Amino acid sequence: MLVYTCQTPICEDVILTRWLLAMLIFVPVSILLRVSGAPDGWVFGLSALAIVPLAGLLGLATEELSRKYGSGVGGLLNATFGNATELIICLVAVRAGEIDVVKASLIGSIIGNVLLVLGLSVLLGGIRHKMQTFNKDVAQSHSAMLAVSVISLVVPALFVGSSRLTATPASAAARIEGLSLGVAGVLIVLYVGSLIFSLYTHETLFRNGEEGAVSDADEPAWSQAKAVVVLIVCTLIIAVESDMLVHAINPVVSATHMNKMFLGIVLIPIIGNAAEHASAVMMALKNKMDISLNIAISSSTQIAMFVAPVVIFASPLLHHPVTILFDAFELVALTASAAIAVLISMDGKSHWLEGAQLLATYLIIALAFYYVAG
């Protein structure tokens, strides 16, 4: 069991950076395997491992720039790059025509953040601290945005599924694509509004809600140039690794008989969010549940209200349009995940049993997708 003797953000970043730098060995190894024509299973696995430290370094670079420019610019940077890994993987998969994998990974990222990340954080934090508290007002604000995110994905599918489209297939497809672009536009506008709310008009509410968790406003450990270079280089290498990962999906599915739905719902979101998961758990272990809750739920709303709309708008340019219509199984899992997360965050307190409940829900959903969906 690791003992964390370092309590400042910069010191923690040094420890995390060392682990991430050590894991960068998977980057050249995965590329070498791809070039040498190694089995696709090895390429898939090592590309996935390579993305983890790259995503972590991308997050650290964003945090360093946030420390330098303050909470306003920092919030915008986090909004832009917070889920850059998932966005890159999705865009690469869209270009390859893996639409089902893209949709599953978007839903999987939301479910994973809400159930797996938050569940693990609440469980381990509750075991160490018995009862943890967090700002109820901030939690309710996050939960409301999560609920709107879920409604925005569920309602269009319900309307289209229950309507009697008498138009030709081409006309119906055009109307559904128009609906998708319209909903995506509304979500992006609302997302921008939520940023204005949390970073400017009601900044004190969120700052007070996380008082003590981020009060160590240390000077940046990295220079601006270093942070920008790391940001750019990591983004480019993630794109390369994502391309290798996506092109190995079909061979891996054929060899392992694993359905693509499970791959998108469970495996790919875990790969893209691994470093973020670790941050949320560490904050919960330090009894900073506000930050942990913010990481988990805000990441989910960012996927639904920023990443998904960007993918929808970009997909026609990549010649594989993505619509807002998701599989019924995905929507049921999404709705159930949001409902239990909202219920648990309502009272401003958490304990280990609630974490166990979130994790149990996640495992049930994962098992269902593994054995049934596809």
Residue 197 within any structural domain of the chain: yes
Residue 41 within any structural domain of the chain: yes
Q: Does the pLDDT at position 41 exceed 80?
A: yes
More confident residue, 123 or 164: 123
Residue 3 within any structural domain of the chain: no
Give the residue from 120, 121, 149 showing the smallest Cα distance to 360: 120
Residue 312 within any structural domain of the chain: yes
pLDDT at site 76: 62
pLDDT at site 216: 45
pLDDT at site 1: 32
Residue 44 is part of which domain span? 9-371
What band does 123 get if pLDDT is binned at 50, 70 and 90? very high
What band does 71 get if pLDDT is binned at 50, 70 and 90? low
pLDDT at site 56: 81
pLDDT at site 272: 76
Give the residue from 100, 154, 156 showing the smallest Cα distance to 339: 154
Sign of dihedral through CA atoms 264, 267, 268, 274?
Answer: positive
What does pLDDT average to over the chain? Answer: 81
What band does 213 get if pLDDT is binned at 50, 70 and 90? very low
Q: Mean pLDDT across the stretch 142-155?
A: 85
Q: Does the pLDDT at position 82 exceed 80?
A: no
State the Cα–Cα distance between residues 93 and 77, nearest whole angstrom.
24
Q: Does the pLDDT at position 217 exceed 60?
A: no
What band does 74 get if pLDDT is binned at 50, 70 and 90? low
Measured CA distances, 368 to 262, 287, 317, 330 (Å): 9, 33, 34, 11
Q: Of 4-18, 188-202, 306-320, which one has max mean pLDDT?
A: 306-320
Q: Mean pLDDT across the stretch 223-231?
A: 86
With pLDDT > 70 as the criterion, what percentage of the chain qualifies?
A: 84
**Of 9-13, 165-169, 181-185, minimum mean pLDDT range:** 9-13
Residue 1 within any structural domain of the chain: no
Q: Does the pLDDT at position 202 exceed 80?
A: no
3-class SS of residue 333: helix
- Give backbone dihedrals phi and psi of 347, rounded to 5 degrees, phi first: -95, 0
What band does 356 get if pLDDT is binned at 50, 70 and 90? very high
Q: Does the pLDDT at position 233 exceed 70?
A: yes
3-state secondary structure the chain: CCCCCCCCHHHHHHHHHHHHHHHCCHHHHHHHHHHCCCCHHHHHHHHHHHHHHHHHHHHHHHHHHHHHHHHHHHHHHHHHHCCHHHHHHHHHHHHCCCHHHHHHHHHHHHHHHHHHHHHHHHHHHHHHHCCEECCHHHHHHHHHHHHHHHHHHHHHHHHHHHCCCCCCHHHHHHHHHHHHHHHHHHHHHHHHHHHHHHHHHCHHHHHHHCCCCCCCCCCCCCCHHHHHHHHHHHHHHHHHHHHHHHHCHHHHHHHHCCCHHHHHHHHHHHHHHHHHHHHHHHHHHCCCHHHHHHHHHHHHHHHHHHHHHHHHHHHHHHCCCCCCCCCHHHHHHHHHHHHHHHHHCCCCEECHHHHHHHHHHHHHHHHHHHHCCC
For the residues of 10-45, what is the DSSP string, one character each?
HHHHHHHHHHHHHHTTHHHHHHHHHHTT--HHHHHH
pLDDT at site 6: 43
Residue 13 within any structural domain of the chain: yes
Q: Mean pLDDT across the stretch 204-211?
A: 58
Q: What total of structural domains would you count in the chain?
A: 1
Q: Does the pLDDT at position 69 exceed 80?
A: no
CATH number at residue 176: 1.20.1420.30
Residue 341 within any structural domain of the chain: yes
